[in-house]
Amino acid sequence: MLSGKIINLRRVVVTGMGLVTPLGNSLSDSWKKLVAGCSGIAQVTKFAADLQEFCQRYKIPEDFPLIAGEVKDFDFKARMLSAKPDLTKEDLKLAKYTDSFTQYALTASYEALAQSRLDPSVEDPERLGTIIATGMGGVASWEEACRKFDQEGVKRVSPFMVPKLLPNLAAGNVAISIGAQGPNTALSSACAAGGQAIGAAFRSIQLGEADIMLAGGAEAALTPLTVAGFYRMGALATGFNDRPEAASRPFDQEHAGFVLAEGAGIMVLEELTHALNRNAPIFAELSGFGMCGDGHHITDPDLKGAIRCMRRAMQDAGIEPREIDYLNPHATSTPVGDRNEARAISQLFPQQPAVSATKSLTGHLLGAAGAVEAIFTVLSVHQEVIPPSLNLVEIDPDCAGLSLVAGEAQNRTVRYALSNSFGFGGTNAALLFKRYPSWIL
């Protein structure tokens, strides 16, 4: 005979957010440019100071994409000092033994904490945790170490190589920096990782494992080899080197692949009563999470998987499809992915919600994409503004029927909103946010 206990699931709210994106190095800068329809995609600068020399050295084909959604003018030490004026010598050493993906996660975490008005030192450390995802981890540090090892031998390999590349050390370094002793882990489930990290943190709080979680994703994979790998797969948009801002065009007839991007998005998730007791700002309630696998193909998504994932999030929240007002899709600008998701949305929602694909402005942040887009979705709910999709000139007939927000942002009340993330391997996540204070309270 099975025995168990009845668990009353606790409510979870978003009390703080932090961003580092191609649009800006803060939440406010990124959101302002997103709503204004400003693209963060430009000619790449991280490969080499001299692109001509780079192209000759690596035998770059004419259609190789030399564009990206880069984080611009990022100064880790300055950002950390502004967020944490009492930096110790150990804090300052972080720049030496952390990869960029960890640095993005740290600065976004401190911005989220500041917005949340949360002082980790006065919280029970065992009730505070971190779950931060990444798709590629410290791949830039790995490539650099490989080059030095090949050219100069063992002694030129940094002793910090391993701490820089390990995928869990964004979550680990954030936890160490704030003294968090609760759940501490990393997810690496491709492009669904950021969304799944937020979902996992949501479950930890619901089930009583923690009261506060810093959750999201971070990515810094703009390296020659990574871009070459995606290029050889045929996954990247090509032919846009002379007009980079036009390259990411989800649902458009010319969508030909995604634009690689980098950055981080971190949320402070908190149990509702705990947040109310400390008079924390509440931006939205996270009321549903769906996760599933296609069980179908590594890169060819399955229609039923996308539908199943979104439906699970709505069932988790106890609402019907007709109640969704806004949907931020995965929408990477790949024909196969866009068409599959468009069909799933059309079939699932009898009354089409507003849809805007924010990757058209940021590019694709891989393991951080789901977290960054979840934050954009929360801001849409809270600010009652739906950001625009760019580059919708002629909609792909196979994506027709969606209520796409194109060109300009729309002011609209959003009661419930979904954020989708789908990854290689057929791994899916959907997060459902509700306006707070809610009309159904």
Structure-block tokens of residue 39: 């693209």
Task: Give the orientation angle of helix 169-178 with respect to helix 100-116, to 10 degrees.
Answer: 40
Instruction: Show the CA angle centred on residue 11, arms to residues 9 and 15, nearest 5°.
Output: 150
> Which parts of 89-137 are beta strand (E)?
128-133
**In contact, 166 and 132? CB cutoff 8 Å:** no
Among residues 38, 191, 292, 399, which one is catalytic?
Answer: 191
Q: Which position has the token pair 């540090």?
A: 141
Phi (first) and psi of residue 421, to 5 degrees = -145, 125
C-beta neighbour count of 230 within 10 angstroms = 18
User: 35: which residues sit within 8 A by CB, 6+ positions away?
Assistant: 385, 387, 388, 409
C-beta neighbour count of 396 within 10 angstroms = 18
User: 434: which residues sit within 8 A by CB, 6+ positions away?
Assistant: 284, 285, 286, 287, 317, 381, 415, 416
How long, in residues, is the chain? 441
Whether 399 is catalytic: no
29, exposed or middle or buried, with CB in 10 Å at 0-12, 13-18, 19+? middle
Distance CA 267, CA 108 (A): 9
Closest to 317 in 3D by CA, of 416, 212, 420: 416
Instruction: Show the CA angle centred on residue 375, arms to residues 371 and 380, nearest 5°.
Output: 145
**3-state SS string over 216-279?**
EEEECCCCHHHHHHHHHHCCECCCCCCCHHHCCCCCECCCCCECEECEEEEEEEEEHHHHHHCC
Phi (first) and psi of residue 424, to 5 degrees = -50, 145
- Among all residues, which ones are annotated catalytic? 191
